[in-house]
Amino acid sequence: MALCLGIVLCAAHCGDDGPAGMSAGTPPPRVLQPPGSPPYPPELSRALLEAVRAKGESYRPRTRHLNPDGTARYVNRLVLEPSPYLLQHAHNPLDWYPWGEEAFTRARREGKPVLLSIGYATCHWCHVMEEESFEDEEIARLVNEHYVAIKVDREQRPDVDAVYMAAVQQLTGRGGWPMTVWLTADRQPFYAGTYFPPRAGVRGAHMGFDQLLLRLAERFHAEPEKILDAAADLTGRLQAALVPSPGEAPPTAAPLHTAYAALRDSFDDSEGGFGGAPKFPRTVTLEFLLRYHRRTGEPHARDMVVRTLEHMASGGIHDHVGGGFHRYATDAAWLVPHFEKMLYDNALIAVAYLEAYQVTAREDFAAVVRDVLRYVQREMTAPEGGFYSATDADSEGEEGKFFVWTPAELVDALGHERARIVAAYYDVTDAGDFDGASILHVPRPAAAVAATLGVSDDQVRSVVQAARDDLYRARARRIPPLTDRKIQASWNGLMISAFARAAQVLHDEQAAYVGAAVRAAEFILARMRIDGRLRHGWFEGKPTAEAFLDDHAFLAAGCLDLFEATGDPRWLEEAIALQQVLEDVYWDQADGAFFTTASDAETLLAREKPDYDGAEPSGNSVALLNLLRLHELTTRDRYRQYAEEGLRGLGASIATAPVAVPKLLSALDFQLDRPKTVVVVEPEDGTGATALKVAIARTFVPNRALVVVPAGAAQRRVAALVPLVTDKIAQGGRATAYVCENRVCAVPTSDPEVLVGQLSSTLPLPQS
């Protein structure tokens, strides 16, 4: 029997006839609104019903509150929203509103506080709080009677998330999701936290979410002046936190040395990474350390990166069957992950291993890059070419169930003999290490496993390699975690960079990596740019919110990397256009650097100017690097001026908390260096540069710009954008490289070894 697709309170069952097809005099169906909320107006009820109908017969409401015919008992305004996360909450018994003036107008009219909940579609603890509290009818009634409730998808509204995350951090000293914030009707926060257990005693809580809701509502009405004063004070503090102070002078090299010393002191010599549990693959830190090693020769900077990447690759944070990496490890040894997979993590991790491969020439690091990109091509690429956002940690209501194995499951998939070797290699035991099952990880090298089992090293390696595909097919028969299929310009920009840079470094002979990057970039620029303005996201065939700083900066970086990988000037033109939008409507004319939001965007409590480089780099860090790269390519001095003014605008953060801004330190390193502009001119037929490209690929030169172009018409088109290309020739009909600093070029060469020597020269980092 097909599911009835309406969610109504009416005498007859809902069926194929919608509101438009009802006979005269028949009252329109009414949506069953959440408990404790006022009745929905008829027009809203119709809109909600139509939204559910439009989802088709395959739609299954995400709720435990179902009618006998399988329809949801409740529906709220979130069913109208283009967000996977908000749609997950569309059938909670809460009277959720999306972020917008309608909710705050109602709060002012009714004299109620606002309960703001922020999360994202693949957030495990968001799911926990939903199941425990937002699906609980008693708690829902408390919220609906005493508050106006707003739900926000942090991935679609990072500007809103940043403002209220600052409030959580001001009040609690930490942050995370789900984020739970109590606001006045004027949007000012007065209390905040993250996950709250539903009732006292759950997870050791002294006070449950239910009690807290009542106490704060009582205080709001009993002590309104105290609440308003507290909200105003907190608002002032978060505004100061979101807009860092400019420096009094241009930054020097001193913060680079300070950051290195702090990272050296916090490094985990045993397991790699920094500090204890949990451990995040904060790859922006590793990128900085490789740059510091290049400029100083400090061996420990390099060793910290190598050891961290080794442990990550062998740990449970790495999906050894499907490829890619989970979001973070809950322990210090990288064994037990939080099983989400984020597109941005995997893009940044791929680049970190690429750079480490350039520094070390270790093929196992190159293999990790291929593993990550294969995962993205196989599981995270939309038919149109863009990249999906994430996959969930949970399946069948359990975190990690999709990813873990028992010895019996290995035998079923591989047979006894192969399972014996694979179990020993990946440490799969009867006891397990995660709820009775085992997380695949590699605690011992193949040689040690071979010695234990009495087989050869080669046999272990060949069996394990062949078993991966068999295990992947066996795992595919399980119920998979949710894939968040929204496409975001910012995260796609990061992955475009990963594919484009891999195409350069890993000799993409079949052009598969370049092809993936080009398809994604073309999709975003064609479908997610409207009237010249980029959009932040794409979901269910439609663009979503206006773009932010990160969208422009990350996508521009991807276009620059595509230009270097392909030589096609189109991508340089696109990067210049994206940068122009940032200068026009995101730049802080008074103090330098870029705001998160455009000058014509919604006005929030604060207009954030981001500097912190966490799991993702800040938009400012990437934008300033883009400016420096554009200056090297185009020789336009205004790009250098913007970059220097931006670094000064964030100078206080660089000086006082350099470990918090490692990607920004990489931009500073670029600015303090003598960057190289490398021009390779091929013969007019576009052949003969392979050996020179290989030499460039195997040399770690982060502070550089690269142009590879065939002589002739293509060279003239590129020269219109990159003046340094104008007078370069393929000498003697052979591909020729020109390595230039400050517009002065070294002796041109067609010899790869000479080119490596020219590329490898460095300007030592000053001490202050």
* Tens-digit pLDDT profile for residues 73-107: 999 999 999 999 999 999 999 999 999 999 999 99
Q: Is residue 646 part of a domain?
A: yes
Same domain, 682 and 668: no
pLDDT above 90 coverage of the chain, percent: 89
Same domain, 344 and 451: no
Domain range enclosing 70: 1-75
- pLDDT in the model for residue 293: 98
Q: Is residue 768 part of a domain?
A: no
- What is the average per-residue pLDDT within 226-247? 93
- pLDDT in the model for residue 18: 34
- pLDDT in the model for residue 736: 97
Q: Is residue 248 part of a domain?
A: no
Same domain, 262 and 325: yes
Mark which of 672, 704, 720 sits at the end of a domain. 672
pLDDT in tens, 730-752: 999 999 999 999 999 999 999 99
179: buried, middle or exposed (CB in 10 Å: 19+, 13-18, 0-12)?
buried
Mark which of 222, 242, 262 sits at the end of a domain. 242
How many domains would you assign to the chain?
5
Same domain, 339 and 425: no
pLDDT in tens, 604-656: 999 999 999 999 999 999 999 999 999 999 999 999 999 999 999 999 999 99
pLDDT in tens, 559-608: 999 999 999 999 999 999 999 999 999 999 999 999 999 999 999 999 99
Same domain, 337 and 469: no
Mark which of 212, 242, 272 sits at the end of a domain. 242
**Quick check: 5 pLDDT over 90?**
no
Q: Is residue 136 part of a domain?
A: yes
pLDDT in tens, 291-319: 999 999 999 999 999 999 999 999 999 99
- pLDDT in the model for residue 688: 83
Lowest-pLDDT choice from 58-62, 109-113, 742-746? 58-62
Same domain, 386 and 333: yes
- pLDDT in the model for residue 523: 98
Q: Is residue 80 part of a domain?
A: no
**Quick check: 57 pLDDT over 90?**
no
Same domain, 653 and 729: no
CATH number of the domain enclosing 525: 1.50.10.10
Q: Where are the alpha helices (DSSP H) in 597-661?
A: 619-634, 637-649, 651-656
Q: For residues 255 and 647, give the distance between their C-alpha atoms in angstroms, rounded to a whole number.
A: 12
**Quick check: 21 pLDDT over 50?**
no
Same domain, 647 and 556: yes
- What is the average per-residue pLDDT within 506-526? 93
List the one residue out of 761, 756, 740 whose CA is nearest residue 692: 756
Q: Indicate the pTM of the whole model.
A: 0.93
Q: Which two tokens stand for residue 475?
A: 């795992």
pLDDT-derived band at 419, boundaries 50, 70, 90: very high
pLDDT-derived band at 31, boundaries 50, 70, 90: low
Same domain, 320 and 385: yes
List the one residue out of 536, 530, 482, 545 whose CA is nearest residue 87: 482
- pLDDT in the model for residue 497: 98
User: Tokens 């052949």 belong to which residue?
Assistant: 687
**Quick check: 15 pLDDT over 90?**
no
Count other Cβ atoms within 10 Å, centred on residue 722.
Answer: 22
Q: Is residue 680 part of a domain?
A: yes
Same domain, 589 and 660: yes
Q: For residues 361 and 345, give the distance between their C-alpha atoms in angstroms, rounded to a whole number.
A: 23
- pLDDT in the model for residue 12: 27
pLDDT in tens, 423-447: 999 999 999 999 999 999 999 999 9
pLDDT above 70 coverage of the chain, percent: 96
- What is the average per-residue pLDDT within 449-457? 95
249: buried, middle or exposed (CB in 10 Å: 19+, 13-18, 0-12)?
exposed
Count other Cβ atoms within 10 Å, centred on residue 590.
Answer: 7
Q: Is residue 448 part of a domain?
A: yes
93: buried, middle or exposed (CB in 10 Å: 19+, 13-18, 0-12)?
buried
Pairs from 126-131 (Cβ < 8 Å, separation ≥ 24): 126/85, 126/177, 126/178, 127/392, 127/394, 128/195, 129/178, 129/180, 129/195, 129/196, 130/88, 130/89, 130/92
- pLDDT in the model for residue 69: 84
To the nearest 10°, report the CA torsion of 326, 331, 335, 336: -60
**Quick check: 28 pLDDT over 80?**
no
User: Tokens 């460039």 belong to which residue?
Assistant: 696
Which SS3 state, helix, strand or coil, does residue 208 take?
coil
**Quick check: 11 pLDDT over 80?**
no
Contact 421, 459 (CB under 8 A): yes
- pLDDT in the model for residue 1: 29
Q: Distance between alpha carbon 734 and the CA centroid of its chain, in Å?
A: 43
- What is the average per-residue pLDDT within 678-705? 92
Report the chain's mean pLDDT, rounded to a whole number: 93
Same domain, 471 and 499: no
pLDDT-derived band at 154, boundaries 50, 70, 90: very high
Same domain, 320 and 440: no
Q: Is residue 81 part of a domain?
A: no
List the one residue out of 617, 708, 600 whose CA is nearest residue 285: 617
Count other Cβ atoms within 10 Å, centred on residue 266.
Answer: 13
**Quick check: 162 pLDDT over 70?**
yes
Lowest-pLDDT choice from 22-36, 201-215, 327-341? 22-36
